[in-house]
A and B are shown apart, each in its own frame.
Chain A
Amino acid sequence: MTTDTNALVQAAADLSNRPDDGPLVLTTDDAPGFKVVRVIGLVRGNTIRARHVGKDIIAAFRTLVGGEIVEYTKLMAESREQSLDRMRAEAFARGANGILGARMTTSTVMGGAAEILAYGTAVVLEPAEH
């Protein structure tokens, strides 16, 4: 990957806000290279966030002309990261170092707000012996 391409995908992925420590969060039911030594149970984190009314107004105007509604893209991203952090926090507090089968779901509580619920199974993982 060239430097330009690397910079491009780094910027597009917005990796600066993705934690690379804390419990390992996987959507799979197992973790290749690890063995599950203890299952702790369900962990979850949720949030409901909104942007301020000014952003809602701009977003409403964007629907007149189409295209991405960046105000709400950011809203959903903030909610997603916060709910994932809360799920990780619960797993960590309960002694887990991994979360398997992680999922996210959303629902509508009120217009202009984003609710995200992240959940998964907290486990204790150890490197598998070869």
Chain B
Amino acid sequence: MSPERYEELLVKVADAVAGPAEREELMTWIADKPDLRSELEQHLALRAVTDGWMSRLEADLAEDRARRNPVGRALSSFGVGLLLLGLLILTVAGFVLPILDPGAPLSIQIGMGLSLGGFFVLLVHVIRNRLKTRKEDPYRKVIR
């Protein structure tokens, strides 16, 4: 077999486009040539990896679609909303209770009051800022 014919058959078999006769021709030729058999095995292994790549992509996108499910998204937004509301109430209570406590020193009451005021001013500031710029943020559409 000429080197050109061998290369042609090797590529066809590795790409799984060889007919039965071509496959038989190649296998007969390499039967007693361990180095050529090894070369074919390497090509087939590479092919298996690249074939797997495409099916992994399919699975990846299927997972993406599952994550975009409206019910799942609504559920996670609801959960996050509840959690944040609870944390906000706890934070505010943590500040307000010492302020309202008649036994607390004045310095603690003033400090807590100023901190709570600052917290809300900064919170409103960053939320306002983000709401203004969010729609124009061109990177919102980037997914990966």
Instruction: List the interface of chain A (C-beta within 8 A of B).
Output: 5, 8-9, 11-12, 14, 16-17, 49, 52-54, 57-58, 68, 70, 73-74, 77-78, 81-82
A110 to B87, CA, bound (A): 21
A58 to B139, CA, bound (A): 20
Does the CB pair A53–B76 fall under 8 Å? Answer: no
**B63 cross-chain contacts in A, Cβ below 8 A:** 68
A16 to B63, CA, bound (A): 20
A84 to B95, CA, bound (A): 43
A-B pairs, top 9 by smallest CB distance, nearest first, are A78-B139, A54-B80, A17-B142, A12-B57, A14-B143, A77-B142, A78-B142, A77-B144, A14-B144
Evaluate whether A8 and B54 lie within 8 angstroms (CB atoms) in the complex, with A54-B77, A57-B80 already known.
Answer: yes
Instruction: List the interface of chain B (C-beta within 8 A of A).
Output: 54, 57-58, 60-61, 63-64, 67, 76-77, 80-81, 83-84, 130, 139-144
**A82 cross-chain contacts in B, Cβ below 8 A:** 139
**B84 cross-chain contacts in A, Cβ below 8 A:** 53-54, 57
A82 to B54, CA, bound (A): 29
A35 to B140, CA, bound (A): 37
Does the CB pair A5–B54 fall under 8 Å? Answer: yes
A102 to B85, CA, bound (A): 45
Does the CB pair B80–A8 fall under 8 Å? Answer: no
- Nearest CB on A from B137, distance (A): 8
**A57 cross-chain contacts in B, Cβ below 8 A:** 80, 83-84
